[in-house]
Each structure stands twice: as structure tokens, then as C-alpha cells.
Chain A
Amino acid sequence: MKKPSTPTAMTRRTVIKAAAAAGAALLAPPIIKARGEEPIKIGLDNPLTGTYAALGKNELVGAQLAIEQINAKGGILGRQVQLLVEDSTSGEAGTAVQKARKLIERDQVNFLVGNVNSALALAMAGVSNEKGVLHIVPGGHTDGITGSSCHWNVFRVCNTTTMEANAVSSALLKNIGKKWYYITPDYAFGHTLQEGLEKAAAKGGGTKVGGDLTPLGTTDFSSYLIKAQSANPDVIMFLVQGDDMINALKQAVQFGLDKRLHLGGAQQELESLLGLPPEARIGTWVFEWYWKQPDVPHVKEFVAAIKKKTGKVPTARTWFGHASIWSCALAANQAKSLNALKMAKALGGMKLPPEVGLMPNEAYFHEKTHQLITTLYVGNAQAKGSEPEDLFNVTQLVKGADAAASPEEAGCKMTWPSAT
């Protein structure tokens, strides 16, 4: 027989213990920070785990370098800058939203930065807009962020999926073939990238011979690859990213598909190429930034600074993180205010200085969509370059302004709050 207990009884001691436990758990976070000159806070809500962990971590490195540089140059409005980092996970929008709210509510950040994943970036933009916090999206590409779902407070550094599609399609149509098969990640990024490519292909006489939507985090692509092969395309377009790209391309090469078809796509990243075996570093792609730009000023210094920090060259993601944080500082220093509305007005139309832009053409935020208009680097992946990390051969530079959709095409109708 067990000790007697009444089912609903709750004794005083129970409650004291419970309260003590709850109290101990609550006391654990740092309570009140030192008063005086509060630093300016930038909240980075980005993946550190999962499919996009490698991309998110590189954005973090770029962001950290930018923080060091900004602080060395006197900070934002004369105050030091502090970076608060939260792991948004790679695919759980609910977590990203929760972290965004935490950064804004509890930590009272002045800026929100994130996310790699387009869906998470869109969800976070909903939060930042609700709270009226200036939000920079470093690396979520789906059109909607600066298109149909654009907000006055949201700016984006990486390209739109339409820009990537327009940049790469002519090279693929001209040099490879017109029948394309799509392997597309099943969320916002994949949907709009495929849509953009289909549109761009149609203009050049290309057709879609089939396609599959794959859930984020797919590890086994064999069934999709078999289906793709039997559709007999000229190109299999790999639109998946991060670890999914590595798995998909690796398996395609193991199946010997590269001997019969062209394996390519739109967006490709150095992180993925570094994760692939040399024989799978193939295909025509577009890069959004490349570390080997001998003729562009300041790039050498940036590469050296990152190499000093991590031992590796910067990738497009490192550049996104760097440019995003710098955009925060530029906006505040230009507006001479931390008011989100004033900063957003200042950042719209702003040209990035060359030491931040680090591109052959001057990068600027489009005034109407808040999209950064950059340079796109079309070229081929290569098994081995002049240096171990030189895995991409740039063949063509595309001006962002030529590849971007107009605000009307993008469907961006921005509503500004009344000035307060």
C-alpha cells in the first residue's frame, strides 16, 4: 500500500518548494546590467543548428567583424555596439518568431537582423513590423520580403530569387540547353526561385519538363533523382541549399548523372562547394559575392581580416552578415537618431561605401522596395582552383539593376506609419 494522499491536496510546503524552484529558474538570467551609457544592441536571430548552420555561422562571423570595426570607429552615435545572438534553428519559424520577440521585448534591441531561411525571415518581418523595429534580412532570398510582403522597416542585403534567376538563366539557356527539371525546397525560397526561373526560361524559349518539391532537411534524394533522370532534361536545376545541396549533388554524382546531364541551378554557395567532394563541384551557378576580386578595392583587407578570425576565406554569407550590421550603423549615423522611422528613411536609397560594398558596382538599397541592388557573379563550380578555397570560376558579372524586378513587378506596396 502506498502512502495515503488526497488527489487534490496541495500543501504549503509543496508551494514553497515549487516557488523556490521557479524563483531559482527565473533568477538565473543576468538581472540588471550596469547603468550609465547603455550600449546599442543589435539582435541577430539566425540559424546556428540544422541544415543552414554553416551559412548562419558565417553570417555571424561577418557580423562580429563588423561590430569590431564599428566600435573601433566610434560606434553608433558615439555609443558602443553589442551583438546579441539567438539560434533561430534552420527551419522552425515558430522558434525564430519566439526569439525575435525575446530580443525585442526583453533585450530591447535597437535593430533586428535575420534570417538565412526565407520563411523564417518573412515570419520575423511580421514581428519586427508589429513592433516597429528596423530589421535587416541578411540572407533570406524569397521575393516576398522586398516584394508582396515588403514592410517599411525591413531591408534586405542578399538578392531576391528573381534576381538570381534572371542572372543565371541566359548562361544556362545559351550554353547548356532548354529543358529544365527542378529539385526545389518546399518553402518560400524554393517556390519563388522556381517561379522566377520558369519565367526567365520562358523568355528564352526554355521549358520545364518536371519538378519535385522536397521538404527542408531531406537527406535521401535518390527517388527524386531517378524521376528527374527519366524526364530526360538538359539540366537538373538544384535549388535546394545548405546541407540539402551537399546531399543532393553528392548523390547525383554517385548515380553518374553528371556524365549524362548538366547539373546546375541558380544560387550556389562556397560553404556547399567546400562540403562537396571535388568530383561533385560542377555546374553553372550564380554566386552573390566572391572573395577573389583582385580589382575591387578593400576586398583584400576584408578577406585578410576574416582569415585572421577564422582561418578561412569569407563567403557570400560572411559578406551578408558584415554588410547587414554595417547597414544598421550607417542608417543610425546618417539619421542621427535611433528612431526606426527616421533610420528607415535614411537607409532607403543609401549607397554602401566601398569598404562595405566590396563589389565592382556600387551597391545601394532601392528606395521603394528596400532591396539591396548588388552585383551577381555567374560562373562555374570547379574541382580545384589556384588556391584550395578557389572553387568558383566567375565568367560573367551581372548588374543587380538589370536583374531586379521593378517595384511594380515585385508587387511591393509599402505603407508607412504616421510619424510620431
Chain B
Amino acid sequence: MRKHWGSGVIWLLLFTMPFWMLAVGGYTELAARIVVLGLAAMALNFLLGFTGVLSFGHAAYFGLGAYGVGMTIKYLFPSTAAGVVIGVAAGTLAGAIIGALIVKLRGVYFAMVTIAFGQVFYFIAFRWNSVTGGDDGLTGWGRQPINLGFTTLDIQGNDKAFYYFVLALFTISVAVMALLLRGPFGRTLLAIRENERRARFLGIPIELHIWLSFVISCFFASLAGALFALVNNFTDPRFLRWDQSGTFVIMAVMGGMRSFWGPLMGATVYVLLQDYLSSHTENWMSFVGLVFVLVVLFFPRGIVGTARTRTVAEP
């Protein structure tokens, strides 16, 4: 029963966030940013923490989602829903194709190739000035109100409405990921993570499972990217760059990549540190780096992972 209690508190905090954010010095968009980047880190962790495969190129799919939604609204039709669908489809399709090409690689080779493919997308976005806006980013578009038939969701002008729109998609995504991980598919991924050779001897199609895990992970990463573009009403080629991928890995590792909620915690800490410290010092990155080093040295299982291990050890 205790684990439900824990998740319950997280959900309670997430659902009430816009109401106490301002009182503690935050703002609604910061809350949305935490949720969105948390989703991206959790998507990455589906692959990293639960399949044991390190991708250093997830920013590519995140960014494809972002550019997908931005370019759809700007060039095709002014509909947020269509933009999100197209963005997610673009990111997932790219993930499916690239995943199929690299699924046989392992360890550092896998990580290197994911960086390489990620950078391909970065340079396309950076150089193709006439379409993507190049280094300037994609401006001149914004999220549109969503027509639900019976009512219109004003995510354009109402920050809280937009936050709950993001949170609803986050909730569905997290539920789907949790269900997948709890079922036989998730157990198989864990088996691959723990001992790939043994899993292979058991007759599990390893490549297929890693590919599926990669595609699922890319699906949610591109959803996060699409939402992130909507948070900012803006996209930037840097959303696709390898250091953005690194940020997701940092979030997952900092929060605890063996735990389900760890990456969300990592993303929360990262976003808050960035938001707060960067207003006070130009060298905020060194503080984030310091926290990361401390976490890796003293809490190798991440913030959530360590806390949990300690409690379990107690009688």
C-alpha cells in the first residue's frame, strides 16, 4: 500500500502546482516546463533505466516533435492538436527508422551512433534557414485554442488551462509507460537489461524488444518535444543538439534511473536549479555540474533511488 501512497503525493503535488507555485517564487510556465522535461527524461529512462540501453541522441526526437508542431501551425494549419500529432508522428517515425539501423549495436557504440544521427537533424534545422528559421529558431507561430466540440480549451491565453492540458497528456503517457513496464513486455526488457545473453538463450528476440523500447521511448520524447515547443511558443535548433540529449541523461541519472519517478525528480531539480541560479550567476552550469558530481559520487542510484534503498534496508 505504501507505494500507492508515494505516487499519490506526487500526483497531488503535480495537480495543485499552479496554485502554490507563485507563493513559493515560481510561476505557472515553470511548472509546465518541469512536467514536460520530466516527461522527456522519463521517456529516455524507459530505454536507459529499464532496457539498459544508453541513447545520447534523444534530443533529435524531442526536437522533431518541437519542429513538427511549430511548422504545422506555421505552414499547414493553425491547430494545436494536428501539430502535436504530426510532431509526434515525425519523431516516432524517425526513431523507428534509426532504431532499426542501430539496434544491433551495444554500449558506447550505440551511444555514439545515436549522437551522430541526432546531429544530422541538428544541422538540418540549423542550416535550412528558409524553412526552419536556422539559428534564429522558428518564430511567428503560437499555440492555438483547442476545440473539443462541446467547449473550447483556451490554452492560448490561459496559463492554467495550458498547464492542465500538458499535465493530462503527461498523465496518459506516464500511465501507458507504467502499464507497459508492469506487464510481460516490461519484465522482458528488465531481463534484457540484467543479462542480455541469458535472455537470448531463453529465446527472447532481443533486437525486436530493444527496437520496440527505442520506438516507445522516442514516441514519448517527441511528445515532450512538441509540448516544450508549445510551452515556449518557439523552437530552436538547440532543442535537437547533443547537449540537450546530455541534459536528459543528466536528469535521469541525477533523479535515479532505476526508479520510475526518478527522472521526474531529476528534471525538477535541474529545471529549478537552472531557473534560480541562472538569475544570480552566469556560472550556473558549474553549480548544476557540482550537484551532478555529488549525486554520482554519494548517491550513485540517484536521488529517488538512494532514498528508497535506504528505507528498504531498515527493518
Could you list which residues of chain A lie within 8 angstroms of chain B, going by C-beta atoms?
3-15, 17-19, 21-23, 25-32, 48-49, 86-87, 91-94, 97-99, 101-102, 105-106, 118-119, 122-123, 126-127, 130, 149, 186-188, 191, 215-216
Contacts and interface: CB of A to CB of B under 8 A. Distances in A.
B139 A126 contact: yes
Contacts of A216: 135
Contacts, number: 174
A26 B190 CA distance: 35
Contacts of B236: 92-94, 97, 123
Interface residues of B, number: 62
A94 B232 contact: yes
A22 B13 CA distance: 10
Given A5-B308, A215-B135, A10 B234 contact: no
Interface in B1-59: 2-3, 5-7, 9-10, 13, 22-30, 33
A26 B13 CA distance: 13
Contacts of B312: 3-5, 9, 11
Contacts of A99: 278
A27 B24 contact: yes
10 smallest beta-carbon distances between A and B, as pairs: A10-B6, A29-B25, A119-B136, A187-B135, A106-B27, A94-B236, A105-B27, A26-B24, A93-B137, A15-B6
B77 to A, nearest CB: 20
A28 B137 contact: no
Contacts of B26: 26, 29, 106
Given A10-B7, A13-B311, A98-B232, A122 B136 contact: yes
Contact of A8 (B10, B126, B182): B182
Contacts of B260: 7-8, 10
24 contacts: A5-B308, A6-B3, A7-B260, A10-B6, A11-B312, A13-B307, A13-B311, A19-B13, A21-B265, A26-B25, A32-B23, A48-B282, A94-B236, A94-B238, A97-B232, A98-B232, A101-B29, A101-B232, A102-B30, A102-B279, A105-B30, A122-B136, A127-B233, A216-B135
Contacts of A98: 33, 232
B303 A18 contact: yes
Contacts of B307: 13-14, 17-18
Nearest to A216: B135
B118 interface: no
B140 A149 contact: yes
Interface of B: 2-3, 5-7, 9-10, 13, 22-30, 33, 126-127, 129, 134-137, 139-140, 142, 159, 178, 181-182, 190, 232-236, 238-239, 258-261, 265, 268-269, 272-273, 275-276, 278-279, 282, 303-304, 307-309, 311-313
A54 to B, nearest CB: 13
Contacts of B27: 101-102, 105-106
Contacts of A187: 134-136
A86 B278 contact: yes
Contacts of A126: 139-140, 142, 233-234
A18 B260 CA distance: 14
Contacts of A122: 136, 139
Contact of A91 (B135, B190, B261): B135
Contacts of B182: 8
A18 B259 CA distance: 13
B268 A10 contact: no
Given A10-B261, A25-B272, A26-B24, A15 B232 contact: no
A30 B25 contact: yes
